[in-house]
Structure 1
Amino acid sequence: MDLDGFVRDGYVVVRATFDPTTARECRDLIWESLAAQGIQEDDQTTWTRSCVSVDCPEAEPFAAAAASPALSAAYDELIGPGRWTRRKGVGGSVPVRFPSEDRGNAGYHIEGSWDSPDGYRVNVRSRARGLLALFLFSDVGDDDAPTRLVTGSHQHIARILAPYGETGVTSEEVESKWRPSILCRRTAHATGRAGDVYLCHPFVVHTATWPHRGTTPRMMAQPAVHVRSGFTLDGTDTSPVAQAIMAGLSGTD
């Protein structure tokens, strides 16, 4: 695994973490969830919305995807053994993006880490969130509305968060504080085959893309990989997640 690339760019890709059969079974269950909203796989006239989110099912195929030894090894490398919380399934939501010219809910943002009365918050130690994972349950090409990652943006975000200490700030407020130039950085798209998983630094700026010019819906879960506590920023934490935050704090705009 390219740990230096993770610290620099804010993401790594673990290819083929689960097999095509498991991916197909996951898609079937996602379609069952969509059917409850009147959206049918074999009737494209029901694909009237550009994006429909469903809770990620907890059935066995998702448990198999989450239990991938390759993913566990990657979490150990990026966060540290024993520091991340195992879960039964994948977790999070599945925003299903349908072929459409509509922008939908696309917009640059970072993820919040914990809930509070004024919204999801995040702090410089990344309390509660170790990684943002992007589980591809369908093949995703350049025309399939892939998620766009702003490389290196995580280090810039660390400098924004630093003055807020343990209390942190809402993820929406963070968006109002970054300089527009951050969006001029190099970008990468989360493309690949079903079974690939992108592991992103929790501070990476990202967005859904549009239009979706493909022919099939894009299915991807985007759970947090939880940590029992945040990262230590006194130089003793050797995890790549902490190293990337430290690199950001030592840099300049």
Structure 2
Amino acid sequence: MDVNGFVTDGYLVVRQAFDTATAAACRADLWAALAERGVLREDPGTWTAPLVQLPCPDTEPFAVAAASPKLATAHDRLIGAGRWTRRPTVGGEVPVRFPSEDWPGTGYHIEGNWWGGEDHWTNLRSRGRGLTAFFLFSDVGPEDAPTRLLVGSHRFVPPVLARAGEAGMSGCAAVEALQPSVLHRQAVHVTGRAGDVYLCHPFMVHTATWPHRGVAPRMMAQPGVEVPDGFAVDGWDPSPVARAIVEGLGRPH
């Protein structure tokens, strides 16, 4: 596990965090939820929206995926053993992306941790979120509208959040306050096989991409890994997540 690479780049990938049979069972449950909205697996004519947001089902396959020993080991290494809260299932939302030329409506942002009235907010300590996880339930290739991550962008966010104090600010406002050059950094895309999980620093700047020119819907959950009190930013917190925040505060800007 490349912990130093995570501190520098802001992400790492856990390949085959859960097996393909579990991923297939998760897809089946997502199709069942889509069918309740009139979106049918066997009828592409019902795939009319570019994006359908689903709450992640609380079913057994998602509990199995969430209980991945590989993920638990990674969380312990990146956050610290005993500091993160285990979920009974994957949780979060599943933005199902269908083949479409249309923009899905989401631009560059960082994830917020609590509702601030018009958007989700976060603060320098990342109160409530230790990581953002991208669970791939379907294979995702370059044509399947993969999420775009800006490599190293998480190290430019701390000075912006520091100016906002403990109250914090919205995830979109934090990105708007960055120097434009940050949005032109090298990018990587969340691609891989069903069962892969990307673990990202909570301040990773990312965006949806379009168009989706693949042949099947992209199914991916993006829950947060909860750390109730967030991280200390005085240099004493040994976790790689906190180390990246502290190093970001010390960058010349």
TM-score range normalised by the length of the shorter chain: over 0.9
Match of residue 83 from structure 1: 83
The separation in 1 between residues aligned to 2:228 and 2:189, in whole angstroms, is 30
CA contact (8 A) 2:39 2:46 kept: yes
The runs of at least 4 consecutive aligned structure 1 residues that moved more than 3 Å come to 116-119
Q: Secondary structure at the match of 1:25?
A: helix
Q: Equivalent residue for 2:214?
A: 214
Aligned equivalents of 1:176, 1:208: Cα separation in 2? 16
Q: Distance in 2 between matches of 1:57 and 1:217?
A: 17
What's the CA shift string for 1:144-183, capped at 9, x where partnerless?
A: 1101000111010111111112111122321321121111
For residues 227 and 14 of structure 1, the distance between their equivalents in structure 2, rounded to whole angstroms, comes to 20
Answer whether contact 1:93 1:222 (CA < 8 A) is retained. yes
SS at match of 2:114: coil
Counterpart residue number, 2:31: 31
* Matching residue of 1:189: 189
Matches of 1:12 and 1:175, distance apart in 2: 22
Superposition pairs for residues 51-200 of structure 1, below 5 Å? 51-200=51-200
Distance 2:209 2:219 in 1: 14
- Name the SS of the counterpart of 1:140 in structure 2: coil
1:141 aligned partner, one-letter code: G
Percent identity between the two aligned chains? 58
Structure 1, unaligned runs of 5 or more: none
Seen in structure 2, the aligned counterparts of structure 1 residues 159 and 105 have a Cα distance that, compared at 3 Å, is same
Deviation at 1:208?
1.0
Matched residue pairs, number? 253
Aligned residue number for residue 11 of structure 1: 11
Amino acid at match of 2:37: Q
TM-score by length of 1: 0.98
Deviations 1:72-91 (A, max 9, x none): 00000000000000110000
Secondary structure of the corresponding residue to residue 129 of structure 1: coil
Structure 2 match to 1:203: 203
Return the offset for 1:118.
Answer: 4.8
Q: SS state of the match for residue 54, structure 2?
A: strand
CA contact (8 A) 1:139 1:194 kept: yes
CA contact (8 A) 1:106 1:210 kept: no
**Is the Cα–Cα contact under 8 Å of residues 125 and 230 in structure 1 kept in the other structure?**
yes
Distance 1:147 1:67 in 2: 24
Conserved 8 A contact 2:131-2:226: yes
Name the aligned partner's letter for residue 153 of structure 1. S
- Structure 2: give runs of 5+ residues left out of the alignment: none
* Kept after mapping to 1: 8 A contact 2:175/2:205: no
